[in-house]
Structure 1
Amino acid sequence: MRGHGSNHHLRKGIEQMTLRPVDGKQHAHRPRAIGYLRTDLSPHEAHDTETIRRLARRQHHTLVYIVRLGPDSVPDAIAHVLDIVCATGTTTLITPDLAHLENHPGRVCDTCDLMTVCPGQLWMKAVTNPHENPHEPIWLPEVWHSEPDARLRIADAHRVMQTHLTCNPLDCPRKAAAFALLVETGKLVPATRSPRERAVSRNLAYPPVGPTTPGMCPSPAILQRLLTGLEQVQP
């Protein structure tokens, strides 16, 4: 357990910091957030820092600070970050993914809300009702299926393909971006036959194709992205 003295010194040190929103704008009516990443888990630190900023803006939070810690910076990194959350009066912690929290969102949710960039999810702060599950994540609708803000990394693309397993890339810009990147880099080889052809070869019934409405048509940008990826495949 951390002593009262250590908390006092931490609060005093934080009060002496110039904690300004990372985006440079004050929004008194918005909830405040702290970003956090472990440098040993973030080989592209600038990229992860920017994705934290963007998620905070898209979810209408004021990002006051981003904490960057190495694996041996402090004895208990998560406790250290949560002390900063409490001392700065913020309500949300934003991190690239759960690996930065040792895959344990519940520890954070005992203190504040938690948002992850990949996948875009929100864990609400633990409630007092023991019959409710406080750590069930909520998909962030503005992030979940949207076009990525920046070019995905291969690890991110694999995660998107797993979490968007039931999505059609023609309807989901995020899966389309992941699909095209994995094809382009040789990590995924598309099927050479359509689902209908595969069903026929196995004597399986295939659902008839219904009429297409304008709202169901994929955007030209998605089609172009997928075709560009497919062009990378060697015949």
Structure 2
Amino acid sequence: MRPTPTAIGYLRWDVSGDAMDWDIAQIRKLATRYGYELAQIVWLDGADTDIVAALRAAIRETDAEAVITPNLAHLDDRPEELVRCCDVITVNPTDTYARRAYPGERVWAD
């Protein structure tokens, strides 16, 4: 783990729509407020993408401790698929789904 924890931002084009720039700004703001270094923002379509696999790859590459997303709709309302490898933080409502609920090593595969 790095001295400053790392996070990645995540959003889906099909969910954000015209609010994409706003969602990105809110992800950046929340990362700063929570003390994360925002390594990257991942944009996915969602329709034909294995979202969990793509995010796990980005988490591994950046050694991220958290994924920050505008809301759970960007994760099809299923944060538990990522919570075994990092925290999931939503902007609106502001909430944290912590991996501490799953003690032990990070789980990268189902």
Same fold (TM over 0.5): yes
Whole-Å separation in 2 of the counterparts to 1:71 and 1:89? 23
Whole-Å separation in 2 of the counterparts to 1:34 and 1:105? 15
Q: Give 1:127 shift.
A: 2.1
Query: C-alpha deviations, 1:26-76, integer Å up to 9, x for none?
Result: xx62100000000000021000000000000000100010000112353x1
Whole-Å separation in 2 of the counterparts to 1:127 and 1:107? 12
Q: Secondary structure at the match of 1:103?
A: coil
Q: What is the TM-score of this pair, normalised by structure 2?
A: 0.85
Question: Are 1:29 and 2:13 matched, yes or no?
Answer: no
Q: Secondary structure at the match of 1:66?
A: strand
Q: Which residue is 2:13 aligned to?
A: 39
In angstroms, what is the RMSD of aligned CA positions? 1.5
Whole-Å separation in 2 of the counterparts to 1:88 and 1:63? 10
The residue type equivalent to 2:91 in the other structure is V
Question: Are 1:111 and 2:90 matched, yes or no?
Answer: no
Whole-Å separation in 2 of the counterparts to 1:128 and 1:33? 20
Whole-Å separation in 1 of the counterparts to 2:45 and 2:13? 5
Of 124, 139, 142, the residue aligned with 2:98 is 124
Question: Are 1:61 and 2:61 matched, yes or no?
Answer: no
Whole-Å separation in 2 of the counterparts to 1:51 and 1:87? 23
Q: Which residue is 2:56 aligned to?
A: 82
| Deviation >3 Å, runs of 4+ | none
The residue type equivalent to 2:40 in the other structure is Y
Structure with higher strand content:
2
The residue type equivalent to 1:119 in the other structure is P
Whole-Å separation in 1 of the counterparts to 2:103 and 2:4? 24
Q: What is the TM-score of this pair, normalised by structure 1?
A: 0.41
Query: C-alpha deviations, 1:100-146, integer Å up to 9, x for none?
Result: 001011111011011000010111114238xxxxxxxxxxxxxxxxx
Q: Give 1:91 shift.
A: 0.7
The residue type equivalent to 1:70 in the other structure is D
Which structure has more relative contact order (CA 8 Å, sep 6+)? It is 2
The residue type equivalent to 2:103 in the other structure is T
Unpaired runs of at least 5, structure 1:
1-27, 130-235
Whole-Å separation in 1 of the counterparts to 2:45 and 2:38? 21
Q: Secondary structure at the match of 1:107?
A: helix
After superposition, residues 1-235 of structure 1 pair within 5 angstroms as 29-43=3-17, 44-72=19-47, 74=49, 76-125=50-99, 126-128=101-103
Q: Secondary structure at the match of 1:71?
A: coil
Q: Give 1:87 shift.
A: 2.0
Q: Give 1:99 shift.
A: 0.5
